[in-house]
Amino acid sequence: MDYLFTYGTLQDLQVQQYIFGRILDGKTDFLSGFKCLENAVYERYSLVVQTNDFKNKVEGKVYEVTALELQKADVYETSAYKRKKVKLESGIEAWLYIENSH
C-alpha cells in the first residue's frame, strides 16, 4: 500500500467515488515547508509549492491507496501535476501532487 496526501479535489467524496470506485478513509495530516496556492492551475485548482520555510504548512488528508488507485489518480490529475514523495508531520511518507513544470 501507498499513502497519498491530498489538499484539494481528491478530498471530495464524489470525486473519490468517481476515480477509485470507493470513498477513502483519510486522516488529517500536515506538510511543512510548503504553501497552498488557490486557483493556481487553470485558474481553478489548488497547488502546493515548496518553500523550504518550515513556518509554512499545508493541512490536508492522507489516504492509504493501492498502486492501481495511484495510477487512476495520475490520470485524474492530468499532466498538469506530477507525483512527488514527501514526509508528513506524522512521519508518514506519502505521494503528493505538485506542479508539473516540464
Cell of 88: 508528513
What does the domain layout of the chain look like in residue ranges? 2-99
pTM, whole model, 2 decimals?
A: 0.92
Q: What is the pLDDT of residues 16-29, one digit of tens each?
A: 999 999 999 999 99
Q: What is the pLDDT of residues 5-19, one digit of tens each?
A: 999 999 999 999 999
Q: Judge contact between 60 and 6, C-beta under 8 A.
A: yes
Q: In the prediction, which pLDDT does 6 show?
A: 96
State the Cα–Cα distance between residues 39 and 45, nearest whole angstrom: 5
Residue 100 has pLDDT above 90, yes or no: no
The architecture that CATH gives domain 2-99 is Roll (3.10)
Residues 6 or more apart whose CB falls under 8 angstroms from that of 5 comprise 29, 31, 60, 61, 62, 86, 88, 94, 95, 96
